[in-house]
Amino acid sequence: MRTLLVVLAGVGLVAVAFALAWPVILPWLTYVPERLTAESGRPARYGLTTATEVWVETGDAVRLHAWWVPTDPAGRPPCDAAAIYFHGNAGSIAGRAPIARSLALRGLDVLLFDYRGYGRSEGRPSGPGLVADAEAAWRFVVEEQGVPPDRVVLIGNSLGSAVAAALALDHGAGGLVLGAPFPGLPAAITRHAPWLPVRLLRWTGGRYDAGDRIDRLRMPLLVLIGERDTMIPPELSERVFERAPEPKRRVQIDADHNTLIGHPTAWAAIDRFLAEHLGCSS
């Protein structure tokens, strides 16, 4: 009996220590930023020769590094619309240059920006911080570039899907495209570590639970799901889609987490979405 009590006490101490350390562990697990220099942050280095480097200031005075990529004249006719791209939890905008180019070739102006703590952007990433970053990106496109809200399409992938969805719930837009969305970080973590007592842990603004609130969405939605995605399993993305109101469409793609955005089937689905809801040429 004494040995059992010692073991239980030890387990309890470990659980308490883990719970206390959770606010430190969570950011370490969630954010994997790549930092850029003035040289490595130039868009021309990645083939975006017509792009302009811009700095976007957030409501809490953090400067975000971004590229404004105009419609590519070598592509389809301009459709007088803009896309804001919200990337995932790792890397920087440097690795998303092909996505910006593909959108520009589809007749869109594109804002590609790094969250705080990523690329050349100031600050440190956090849940509330990334929400503020998304708001700043929105203001840049709508207020500074003069794009009407209903001519803006929000495109988010992985963690960026939660950031884009949170913005979409507070603003009108022409459409929302989500790659590998999830209901919230607690659900995603439970899927990989069901033994973790996630309901008992302290979540200080980093739940990223817009997927759980997607029933309040008031714009067309396209959900892209990787059938071989082990990071965000298809069933999590399905939960987001099922909760969303019409009009909505989901496309299942023979891709894993890292090949979902950029897959030809994904681009075909985006083409159809842009043609149907923004009148872009397909």
List residues with catalytic annotation.
Answer: 158, 229, 257
CA dihedral angle for residue 105, residue 111, residue 112, residue 114, rounded to 10 degrees: 180
Helix (H, G, I), strand (E, B) or coil at 153: strand
d(CA 102, CA 48): 11
**Element of type H or E holding 111:** strand 108-113
d(CA 179, CA 166): 14
d(CA 55, CA 53): 7
d(CA 169, CA 179): 17
**Which is it for the CA torsion 252, 131, 25, 195, positive or negative?**
negative
Smallest CA-to-CA distance from 119 within 46, 198, 213, 209 is with: 46
Q: Are strands 32-33 and 90-91 parallel, antiparallel or unpaired?
A: parallel
**Element of type H or E holding 127:** helix 127-139
Q: Count other Cβ atoms within 10 Å, centred on residue 30.
A: 17
The CA R_g of the chain, rounded to the nearest whole Å, is 20
Torsions phi, psi of 58, nearest 5?
Answer: -85, 170
- Tell me how many helices (H) and strands (E) the chain has: 7, 10
